């Protein structure tokens, strides 16, 4: 028996499932409308820009998905993605003079080593995420309140640390992360795919990952089954923080700068994408794979609106409408499952 024959029984149901999935048809519809209404929509340049957009909002949404699976929410992701990079720049700018170097040069430009900035940013993301998790899991603060406070505090810290002025990031490696490509695929999208595969392997392919579903589905039953829910809730927030920091690195690498007001409202985008992908706000339902589909549909739709010349205000209105519809559909589907 050939390898093809062995794999066919598994591939066929997967393909049938894709064809029955409404979000696949939504994505195809968006691309078809884009191709018919604009000669620029399916150009290589626009597809590259689309992949870079997916990388940023997709990373935020993957972290949000993990938290939502536990039945919680994380409103701090957008503020954290900027805060983590600012902390990395500020810490390295302070360390420079101690080592006899001046890395923050005129015009608020950071010209020092960029790898430590990235590592500090990632560590900051994990630490802040874990703090959110500790507040929610161990001190029993409602996740909405805990992360809303974090959102407000981090936005404030962003302005304090930057004095209201942007930092410009001058480093070849950072430019490569923002603009570089591997076999025609943007580096940022490759990073997103690697994180996606890692989370799929952990969440959907391991017993420990399955505990997120158990906690979100029925936390009391999970506790009776011996699952230490507090640890997994804290882990979910730490993962969300790491994804937010990675998104921040990719986002600012593309802009070559970091500024306090950036990414306002991205937390709602992350929630909308996760819900569009089928993640239930009540917890227990969802997957990183479907969040990828939600990211593609969302980014492709916004990209099409931008090409049509639709203003930012109306795009934000569209995001709100999509979020409301997605939440409504999510609740309806959950009722059907429970029935």
The stretches of the chain forming alpha helices (DSSP H) are: 3-20, 22-37, 44-69, 77-98, 115-137, 143-162, 172-179, 187-199, 207-217, 219-224, 229-255, 266-276, 288-307, 312-338
Distance of CA 257 to the CA centre of its chain: 19
Determine the 3-state secondary structure of 218 from DSSP. coil
Residue with tokens 């420990």: 208
Strand order in the sheet with 104-105: 104-105, 109-110, 167-169, 257-258
Cβ atoms within 10 Å of 13's Cβ, excluding its own = 10
From the list 225, 195, 189, 240, the residue with the least C-alpha distance to 70 is: 240
The rounded Cα 216 to chain-centroid distance in angstroms is 20
CB 179 within 8 A of CB 256: no
Please give the structure tokens belonging to residue 312.
């930012």
Q: Tokens 């991205």: give the residue.
A: 266
Report residue 101 as tokens.
């170097």
User: What's the structural domain count of the chain?
Assistant: 1
What was the pLDDT predicted at 95?
A: 93
Pairing of strands 167-169, 257-258: antiparallel
Q: How far is CA 329 from CA 148, 325, 326, 335, in A?
A: 25, 6, 5, 10
In this structure, is residue 265 part of a structural domain? yes
Residue 13, domain member (yes or no):
no
Between CA 165 and CA 91 the distance in angstroms is: 16
Query: How confident is the model at residue 320, as a pLDDT?
Result: 76
In a domain, 14, yes or no: no
| Residue 45 backbone class (left: φ over 0; alpha: ψ -120 to 50; beta: rest) | alpha
The Cα–Cα gap between 311 and 95 comes to 43
Query: What does 60-125 look like in DSSP terms, one character per residue?
Result: HHHHHHHHHHTT---S-HHHHHHHHHHHHHHHHHHHHHHTT---EETTTEE-S-SHHHHHHHHHHH
Quick: pLDDT tens for 15-38. 666 667 788 888 999 999 999 999
| pLDDT score recorded for residue 317 | 82
Q: Are 299 and 53 in contact (CB under 8 A)?
A: yes
With respect to residue 96, please indicate whether it lies within any of the assigned structural domains: yes
Whole-structure pTM value: 0.90
Q: Would you state the structure tokens that stand for residue 111, as one six-digit string?
A: 């010209």
What are the structure tokens assigned to 241, written together? Answer: 């923080």
Mark residue 100 as left, alpha or beta (left: phi above 0; alpha: psi -120 to 50; beta: remaining).
left
Tell me whether residue 84 is in a domain. yes
Please say whether the beta carbons of 24 and 233 come within 8 A: no
Task: Check residue 7 and give its pLDDT.
Answer: 46
* Residues paired with 167 in a beta bridge: 258
Would 203 be classed as within a structural domain?
A: yes
Domain, as residue range, for 105:
56-276
Instruction: Report phi then psi at 110, rounded to 5.
Output: -90, 120
Tens-level pLDDT at each residue, the chain (339 residues): 444 444 445 556 656 666 677 888 889 999 999 999 999 999 999 999 999 999 999 999 999 999 999 999 999 999 999 999 999 999 999 999 888 888 888 878 999 999 999 999 999 999 999 999 999 999 999 999 999 999 999 999 999 999 989 999 999 999 999 999 999 899 999 999 999 999 999 998 889 889 999 999 999 999 988 999 999 999 999 999 999 999 999 999 999 999 999 999 899 899 989 988 889 888 899 999 999 999 999 999 999 989 998 887 787 787 777 777 766 665 665 555 445
On whether residue 40 sits in a domain, the answer given is no
Residue 27 lies inside a defined structural domain of this protein: no
Q: Name 206's Cβ contacts closer than 8 Å, sequence gap at least 6.
A: none
């Amino acid at each position: 028996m050939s390898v093809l024959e062995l794999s066919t029984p598994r591939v066929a149901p997967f393909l049938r499932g894709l064809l029955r999935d409404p979000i696949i048809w939504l994505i195809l519809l968006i691309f078809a409308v884009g191709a018919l209404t604009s000669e620029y929509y399916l150009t290589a340049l626009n597809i590259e820009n689309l992949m870079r957009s997916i990388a940023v909002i997709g990373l935020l949404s993957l972290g949000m998905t993990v938290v939502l699976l536990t039945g919680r929410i994380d409103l701090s992701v957008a503020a954290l993605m900027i805060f983590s990079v600012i902390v990395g720049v500020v810490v390295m700018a302070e360390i420079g003079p101690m080592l006899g170097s001046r890395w923050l040069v005129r015009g608020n430009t950071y010209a020092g080593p960029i790898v430590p900035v990235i590592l500090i940013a990632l560590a900051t993301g994990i630490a802040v995420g874990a703090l959110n998790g500790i507040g929610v899991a161990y001190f029993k603060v409602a996740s909405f309140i805990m992360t809303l406070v974090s959102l407000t505090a981090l936005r404030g810290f962003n302005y304090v640390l930057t004095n209201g002025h942007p930092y410009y990031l001058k480093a070849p490696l950072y430019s490569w992360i923002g603009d570089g490509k591997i076999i025609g695929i943007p580096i940022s999208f490759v990073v997103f795919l690697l994180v996606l595969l890692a989370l799929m392997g952990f969440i959907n392919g391991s017993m420990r990952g399955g505990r997120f579903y158990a906690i979100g589905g029925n936390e009391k039953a999970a506790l009776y089954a011996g699952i230490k829910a507090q640890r997994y809730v804290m882990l979910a927030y730490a993962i969300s923080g790491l994804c937010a920091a990675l998104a921040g690195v990719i986002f600012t690498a593309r802009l070559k700068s970091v500024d306090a007001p950036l990414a306002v409202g991205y937390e709602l985008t992350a929630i909308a994408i996760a819900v569009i992908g089928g993640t239930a706000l009540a917890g227990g339902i969802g997957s990183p794979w479907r969040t990828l589909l939600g990211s593609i549909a969302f980014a492709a739709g916004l990209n099409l609106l931008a090409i049509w010349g639709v203003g930012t205000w109306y795009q934000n209105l569209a995001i709100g409408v999509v979020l409301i519809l997605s939440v409504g559909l999510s609740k309806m589907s959950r009722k059907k499952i429970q029935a």
